[in-house]
Each structure stands twice: as structure tokens, then as C-alpha cells.
Structure 1
């Protein structure tokens, strides 16, 4: 399912006692080069790893955004739930209009415009938001947002995994703090992925870096994760309580 890349030094445990740290946000894509080129240009990132079926881009603010080849990907059709987005990246930008124009020039499509954020789709169809922050120094990653049936419950799960507090929980939206924020939004008629069923594909997943796969597996299962098929010497595959696949990597 996934392959780790070289974003930073191996993590021990998070300072507050979690299982691991966010290593990369991984998007399934039918065209590795087109997707990596888009996100490299949009974020002013650099390519850290390139294989036949995998490319990792590291942003200036040290987020890893990786792309794994999925030739038969069924792209999301935002905002419906027949082929849902499931998760998306949020970016801070100092100028919404300029950021949107730049993204479209690079190959994005505008899906919705608002006063504080604009929703677009990247060349593979993955939605993402550019969010206004007039103090931002260029494009930076605000966090990754996951759709779910119960934002509060999913935030509690990921708080245990990441060892980070829930810093916001109201009106169907919850958020974890820390250097790699994760956000969760309650969606009506939420339609989860059923990995590895291609009819209900994952759209993206997190790679969580851990110092020990056996200990990490025991810890995430105790938090409420489900083991999924697929593993290698340096990764194992799980699903969170909302069905989102994720990998423990080392």
C-alpha cells in the first residue's frame, strides 16, 4: 500500500506520549509526474524521493506530501458522497485571489469560492482548500482534514495516536494541536473507503512514523484501529474508526 520516504529523522514517541508522528500525507494518483509537479510548484517544495510508483515532495514548512501510483483511481466528485473526497489538505495563503489564480494556472480547478477560503481540485481530482492568512509567508500547510460521521469521536482516536490534545471541538468540527495539525469534520451520509476495494477507494492516507512496528501496532489497535491487509519490512496498514486507512512506517 505504501512506502516510507526520507522526510526527517526517525521519530521516537511524541513529546506527550503518542504512538508516533505524521511522516507524510499520501495521495493516490493516476499520474505521478503530473501530480508531483503540481504540488511542488504550488508549495515551492522539493522532491525528496522518486521511484517508479512513488514520489515524495517536502514543503518549506517540512510537511511531506507523497504520491503513490494508482492507475485505476476513481477520483472524488466533491461535494457528493457517491465518490467522496474523504480527506483533504488545507493551505494557508496571504492572498486568496492570487493563490487561486496560481493554482489554476498550474492545473487546478475551482470548486467553490468563499470570503475566507477557496476550494479547488488538483489535477488528479483531489479537493484542497486555500485559506486566507494575511500573515502567511507564501503557501504553507495548515493541516489535513478528514471527513467522518462523528468528528469528536475521531478526534479522540487520533489524539491518542498522536499524543496531541484536542484544541477545538464544536459544531461538527474538531482539531488536534501540535506541529502537524489534524482536523475532522462531520459529514452527513459519510461514505467511508473500504480499502483495498477499488469500488470504494481511499483517496489519501497518513503515514505515521514509529520507532517500533510491533509496539506501534499494539498501541493503535488498543486505541481502536483495525488491521488491514498489507505490510512490508518497514510498514503496516490499518484503518481508523471512520475507515480511513493509514500506515505505520519506520
Structure 2
């Protein structure tokens, strides 16, 4: 397999990233490791990171409304998800739904910027909250999993009717099958990306060639230090060095 990139993190759009950073650090105990103009990076105890990107015109999702989709969400593992959900609500989250399947149990909430996230019960996980996976909506979850697997050298470890998952380098990305999928139209604020992946490459030209070969579309971007693409489902992602 020709490995092009390495998954760095998922970045979520928000109009007030300092407020959102305060929410996630208070809820999870993770630490802010970078705070520059319009960008905050938060690191979990296992070294995984998420980022918050300032978007003044951000239009929040209205999950589960397909006309205003979430596009991406975080799946978080926690020993007592009900206690964690109550804590999240006290910090400004909104409870949206509760679900269970084959013994799994999760509580879906919206963070203060409106992004849904799942608190998934995981016995034996120990104290704290663990980032299990970034979860991406898709009209063809298995196909999108194979795209990112080839782009980032991660292994497809699950495919099913409800979605797919890839893993590698201590990170996992899930792909959720969505029947009424509405793709983002970045940079149109009327159809926001909500979040995007940053993928590190050694060479931008080679990375671009590989991404396009696999089915990505180059999107306009004035910055020279990174390049923006849409994956086959329309989600923007960045190749960076």
C-alpha cells in the first residue's frame, strides 16, 4: 500500500473557540497545547489531539435534521456515561438522545457550538474520558473508509450495514452510513463543513497526486503551507507538512 499521509487530528469549527476549549478541557481533563490566532489544539492523555478552528459565520448543525447535518462527531469512552453527561450539561452541553445496541450504551449531546458528540459507556476504561474515534457521516461508509485507509495507510478493521472503521497509529476513524446525507459545500456557510481532518504528508505535490488518484477533488485555497481537498463524500480535508 502506498502510504501518503498520517492522520494528525480533526478540527471543529466554532464562533467562540476559547469557550469551546474551556468546555472540552473541563469535561475531559485534556490540556490545551496550542493557542494561536483562530486555532486551539487540545491533547488527550494518550496523545491524541483535536482542534477548534475559529469560524465567525459558523452555522451549527441541528442533529438529527438532515438539512443541517453534523457531518462529523466525536465518540468518547467513559466508565459512567450518565455521570459524564450530567457533568457535560452543567458545563453547557445539551442532551439530545440515548441509544443502545448489542450491550453498548451511549448518550448523545451537543457541545456549546452545537456539535453532537457521544459519551459511550466502556467498563474498565478507568478514570477520565478517552477519545475513541472521529466519526464521519457518509452516503457510502465502506467506500469512504477505503478511501481514507488508502490515503493514510490505516487498516479497515470493520465494515457493516451501519458503517465502517479504520485504525492505525493509535487512532481510529469511523464512518457512519447516512441515508439522507447532505454534503458540505465548503466554503459556503449555508452548507458548512462543521469539521475537517488534517493529514500530514512529507511532500504536498506527491500528496496531492495521491489524493486525486484516490478520488479527492482539489478545492481553492490561497494558503501555500497546506492544501484543501474534498473527499468522495464532499468533506473537506487538509494536507499539511
TM-score (norm 1): 0.91
Q: Is 2:108 the partner of 1:119?
A: yes
Residues 83-162 of structure 1 aligned to structure 2 (within 5 Å)? 83-115=68-100, 116-137=105-126, 138-162=128-152
- 2:73 equivalent to 1:65: no
Q: Distance in 2 between matches of 1:204 and 1:161?
A: 18
Moved more, 84-93 or 130-139: 130-139
Q: Displacement, 1:43?
A: 2.0
How big is each residue's C-alpha offset from its partner over 1:127-173, in whole Å with a ceiling of 9 and x where there is no partner? 00011111213201000111111111111111101112211111131
Q: What's the C-alpha RMSD, in Å, of the aligned pairs?
A: 1.2
Picking from 24, 43, 66, the partner of 1:39 is 24
User: 1:223 is matched with which residue?
Assistant: 214
CA distance in 1, matches of 2:120, 2:7: 21
The alignment status of 1:52 with 2:37, answered yes or no, reads yes
SS at match of 1:114: strand
- The residue that corresponds to 1:21 in the other structure is 6
**The residue matched to 2:192 in structure 1 has which SS?**
coil
Question: What do the CA deviations read for 1:63-122 (whole angstroms, capped 9, x no partner)?
Answer: 211111111111000001111001101001011111111111111111002341000000
In the TM superposition, what is the alpha-carbon distance from 1:190 to its structure 2 partner?
0.5
Q: 5 Å matches for 1:177-188? A: 177-178=167-168, 179-188=170-179
- Indicate the structure with greater strand content: 2
Cα 1:63–1:75 shift into 2, 3 Å: same
Q: Would the aligned equivalents of 1:231 and 1:237 in 2 still touch at CA under 8 Å?
A: no
Q: Distance in 1 between the 2:46 and 2:106 partners?
A: 20
> What is the count of residue pairs matched by the alignment?
235
* Normalised TM-score (structure 2): 0.94
Offset, 1:17: 4.4
**1:166 aligned onto 2:156:** yes
Q: Distance in 2 between matches of 1:157 and 1:52?
A: 32
**Alpha-carbon offset, residue 231 of structure 1:** 4.5
Runs of 4+ in 1 over 4 A off after TM superposition: none
Q: CA offset at residue 55 of structure 1?
A: 1.0
| CA deviation vs aligned residue, 1:196-222 (integer Å, no higher than 9, x gap) | 111111100000111111111111111
Seen in structure 2, the aligned counterparts of structure 1 residues 17 and 40 have a Cα distance that, compared at 3 Å, is farther
